[in-house]
Amino acid sequence: AACQGCPNQGLCAAGAAGPDPAEAAELRARLRAVRHTVLVLSGKGGVGKSTFSALLAHGLAADETKQVALLDIDICGPSIPKIMGLEGEQVHQSGSGWSPVYVEENLGVMSVGFLLSSPDDAVIWRGPKKNGLIKQFLRDVDWGEVDYLIVDTPPGTSDEHLSIVQYLSATHIDGAVIVTTPQEVSLQDVRKEINFCRKVKLPIIGVVENMSGFVCPKCKNESQIFPPTTGGAEKMCQNLNVSLLGKVPLDPQIGKSCDRGQSFLAEAPESPATLSYRNIIQRIQEYCEQQHFKEEKIM
Amino acid sequence: ECPGTGSAQAGRAAACQGCPNQGLCAAGAAGPDPAEAAELRARLRAVRHTVLVLSGKGGVGKSTFSALLAHGLAADETKQVALLDIDICGPSIPKIMGLEGEQVHQSGSGWSPVYVEENLGVMSVGFLLSSPDDAVIWRGPKKNGLIKQFLRDVDWGEVDYLIVDTPPGTSDEHLSIVQYLSATHIDGAVIVTTPQEVSLQDVRKEINFCRKVKLPIIGVVENMSGFVCPKCKNESQIFPPTTGGAEKMCQNLNVSLLGKVPLDPQIGKSCDRGQSFLAEAPESPATLSYRNIIQRIQEYCEQQHFKEEKIM
């Protein structure tokens, strides 16, 4: 009775309704061949989660010996097909499940965007139907052997986020990367997301600060377009004892590359933003490899 | 085959299984019951104009715009303005309106909005949280319940303009607000975007949503439309309109482009500090754009009212 009206009642009650044992076993089997799973979260919209997820996938897949999978669970606003240059692609079913759409031999993608007949179709689903599709993605997509599964999420802390954490509890999540921009209005939502991760015991790999300054291409003057009035992600990370993985400046080429479905890292290799992204990707890779090493040591 | 979205079988027929819009049709059948609808109608009877601020895409400036629209309309002290924030997971309105830490009071006539000015009242789930860092991790049904409560239990009093700020997406909150407000009259939706195709893609879906639920579209606002370097005055398109921006999209979809607003670092600062950007930077080109847009929205609403009076 004391739970009525508590803002976290839903979380606790939802925990009780996680995947049933048979479903959990099914998910475990399907995800057994996934070595590392990284969730990309924010809480705030429009900070560059999908942009970052796509570049993380491209960055990790640059090593052709690694198999990378990118799962887009933003059902209302699936940006990943466009950003990965896969608009109009369809999903194929085979005996072993749904096939991801491959950008490269070692980089496969799945998104509700591939299931829509037209990109302008609004997917107006309430929570339970969204949860059902997320479960299906995890259960029925034939990812094969995967070194890195990257999961791009929608903004917010709701059905999709609870569901992905519950369903992935059948396997191992290395951690979450949380994306923000420098201003307090974003950080406010990001602190909630950090709060969410701690509640569901999801390790936080670290925070990425996007849109961190703009250098005028003509006179090289730097402007803080989204001013860090409260110290930006750096101060927040210090206060909350999480790692700041890096700061990425604005670069108009980023938006262009996303719209054209090209990898920004490949199109603008000299950009300061590319350098930042590459450093961040390396730190994430090192974090995941250390986890694996620790587990092997224990075993 | 599809039984038709207006049919009693909408969303529930065998042919509906797997249709991406099954939820919408089925949810339509589960709108407010007649008693609830009557309650909502009574509560909202004294609201003259209702404007929804939507996007589909996150981070384009919906809350920023909602706040400035509220400030702009409330500059006329003879108008009573109400701002309702139904973004339950990421409620930005309290901070942007300078009302962090405020609490909601209950009285005999319902919940009291928090007043910024005598003629500008605000309600948000943010006021119900004990700490701004508390994550509100609710599934859809609980969010719907709170939205219904806001509409039913908040004592807005007589209101000339009710502005509803929404979260990104096209889900529970959006279906619910349209259903619950069907008990009253929604003048229309303002849809906010930024210039790049990745945003426009989500905004087309939002326009599609409005058409499906028969919500009139007042028009589209394009935010972050260029940045002028304060030093050398060179203009950069930071979010390049690779497919023609909102202007082209509006032409293609036959909706009104209300205006384009350039980036200005003062906007972010004012939001963080809970001040009205229009008041803090009256000379900014962004302020000029916003004021023009607000005026067009006001004219649209007033014309609607005039048409209705003519009919009556």
Mean pLDDT of each 10-residue bin along chain B, 312 residues long: 54 62 53 75 89 93 97 97 91 94 88 95 87 77 84 90 90 85 88 96 91 94 95 93 97 97 96 96 96 97 72 52
Residue B109: partners with Cβ closer than 8 Å, 6 or more residues away? B155
The pLDDT assigned to A16 comes to: 40
- Nearest CB among B129, B205, B240 relative to A121 is that of B205
Identify residue A279 by its one-letter amino acid code: N
The alpha carbon of residue B308 is apart from the nearest alpha carbon of chain A, in Å, by: 31
Decide if A244 is inside a domain.
Answer: yes
**Averaged pLDDT, A54-65:** 97
Q: Is the pLDDT of residue A268 over 50?
A: yes
A5, A82, A128, A42: which is closest to B167 by C-alpha? A42
Distance CA A106, CA A6 (A): 45
| Cβ-defined contact of A185 to B23 (cutoff 8 Å) | no
Domain containing B191: what range?
Answer: 43-311
Q: How many A-B residue pairs are in contact by the CB < 8 A criterion?
A: 245
How many domains does one find in chain A?
1
CATH code for the domain in which residue A154 is found = 3.40.50.300
Decide if A14 is inside a domain.
Answer: no
Decide if A9 is inside a domain.
Answer: no
Decide if B36 is inside a domain.
Answer: no
Decide if B14 is inside a domain.
Answer: no
Beta carbons within 10 angstroms of residue A266's beta carbon = 12
| Cβ-defined contact of B171 to A130 (cutoff 8 Å) | yes
> Which one has a higher pLDDT value, A283 or A136?
A283
The pLDDT assigned to A73 comes to: 92
Residues of B with Cβ-Cβ distance to A50 under 8 angstroms:
198
The pLDDT assigned to A9 comes to: 58
Q: Is the pLDDT of residue A259 over 50?
A: yes
Decide if A2 is inside a domain.
Answer: no
Beta carbons within 10 angstroms of residue A42's beta carbon = 31
Q: Is the pLDDT of residue A1 over 60?
A: no
* Average pLDDT along chain A: 88
Least trusted range by pLDDT, from A71-80, A114-123, A271-280: A114-123
Residues of B with Cβ-Cβ distance to A273 under 8 angstroms:
none
| pLDDT tens-digit map of B9-19 | 555 566 666 66
Decide if A6 is inside a domain.
Answer: no
pTM greater than 0.90 = no
**Averaged pLDDT, A235-262:** 97
Beta strands in chain A (DSSP E): 34-41, 68-72, 92-94, 97-99, 101-104, 107-111, 146-152, 175-180, 204-209, 214-215, 222-223, 244-247
Decide if B15 is inside a domain.
Answer: no
The pLDDT assigned to A171 comes to: 77
The pLDDT assigned to B265 comes to: 95
The pLDDT assigned to B148 comes to: 86
